[in-house]
Each structure stands twice: as structure tokens, then as C-alpha cells.
Chains A and B, each alone.
Chain A
Amino acid sequence: SQQGEEDPQALSIQEGENATMNCSYKTSINNLQWYRQNSGRGLVHLILIRSNEREKHSGRLRVTLDTSKKSSSLLITASRAADTASYFCAAGPDSWGKFQFGAGTQVVVTP
């Protein structure tokens, strides 16, 4: 079974709108992390939410976690063209620190 499956796969919005993407996972986790990846570039850590937390904010980012539904959401408010990127959730880690990544949501913000 796969950890960290995101939806939608792609999202196209106008600047100023909010972007919401979801992540589901299969097994118990200790934390869930969201990463951003610009085309052809590395992974940038955005935010970590622990299994005992329900919501977390960081700037324009809002992450929720529902462990009963094994799901998380990432909300980017007041999006900007510079937010155009792929966003991945990573669920875990297991006892060796390994995370399972989802396929990502590709977000395009049009000016």
C-alpha cells in the first residue's frame, strides 16, 4: 500500500485565489511533512505536522491533519505566481526515518 497519496494531481488557479490539496496515507504515522519542488529542482521543506496536532500555520500555509481519516490538507492562501510548483506530502517516518512520498500535486498559478 502507498503512503502519501495526493489529490488533485494538478491544480490551476488565478493569483490571489487559495489552493487546497489533500494527502491520504495508509498506516499510522508520527508526522506528515509537506515539500515543494520547482520544476527540475530539489525538495524544499515547507511544514511538518505531528500526529498529535490537528492544524498548523506557517505564513500563507495552513496544514490540517486528521489521523482518524488518515488525511492531511495543505492550503496556500492568496496564491502568487511564484507558488507555481509541485507539492508533495511525505508520511512517516518509520523507525529508520524513512518517509513515503506521494506523487504530488502540480500547482500552476496564473498572474
Chain B
Amino acid sequence: EPEVTQTPSHQVTQMGQEVILRCVPISNHLYFYWYRQILGQKVEFLVSFYNNEISEKSEIFDDQFSVERPDGSNFTLKIRSTKLEDSAMYFCASSEVGTDQETQYFGPGTRLLVL
């Protein structure tokens, strides 16, 4: 069964460093999402992406964050200058179309620890 994959599974970085989290969505999916989950808290929406541009972003997704689809398969989340509070599990998701009835398929997540 097709699945969303994410790399790395874990990343430790120093505060102020840039990190890039990578995702490979399901191949025929057109909508892509990033969510994050701070330890012990709920999953929070960060950004949705369609047709090579951001569709919607939350207030969390400030100028330190950016997303890109650099090629036909990868979807990346970049945090330019990490802060301690960026430590979280980051989930990528994709859906076949962005209609109301579609299921989003989530990747296994990247656990980011900022020291």
C-alpha cells in the first residue's frame, strides 16, 4: 500500500541552525500538508500546499518556516533558525484531492529536538 515517507526520523540540532525536513508524499496525491505535535500536546496544522504554492498557513508558520516541492516527489519543510520551542514531531500528510471528503495520509513523522 502506498505510504507517505519522511526523513530523517529523528534530528537533533542546535538553536539557531537551519533544518530541512523531507517528505515523499503518495505519488498521485496533489495536496500536501505539514503538521506538528509538541510532546504531549495536540497535532497542529502548519501549512497546506497545492500547485507549487501555499494554500493556507497557520499563525505558527511564520517567516522562519518555508516549504518547497523541489522536484516531482519531495516536499520539504525548512526552519531557517531553529528555536527551542520548535522541538516537536513534524508530520507530513498528503491527500489525493483537496475536497472535503478526502482522507489525509500521514507520514511517520520526524522528531526534531532543538538544543
Contact = CB atoms under 8 A, between A and B. Distances in A.
Contact of A104 (B42, B45, B56): B42
B101 A31 contact: yes
Interface string B76-104: 00000000000001010001001111111
B42 A97 contact: no
User: Interface majority SS on A: helix, strand, loop or mixed?
Assistant: loop
Range class of the A interface residue count = 20 to 34
Contacts of A90: 43
Given A42-B108, A43-B91, A101 B98 contact: no
A45 B41 contact: no
Interface in A89-111: 90, 93-104
16 contacts: A31-B100, A31-B101, A33-B103, A42-B91, A42-B106, A43-B43, A43-B106, A45-B106, A88-B43, A94-B56, A96-B48, A97-B104, A98-B33, A98-B56, A99-B45, A101-B35
Interface of A: 4, 30-31, 33, 35, 40-45, 48, 50, 88, 90, 93-104
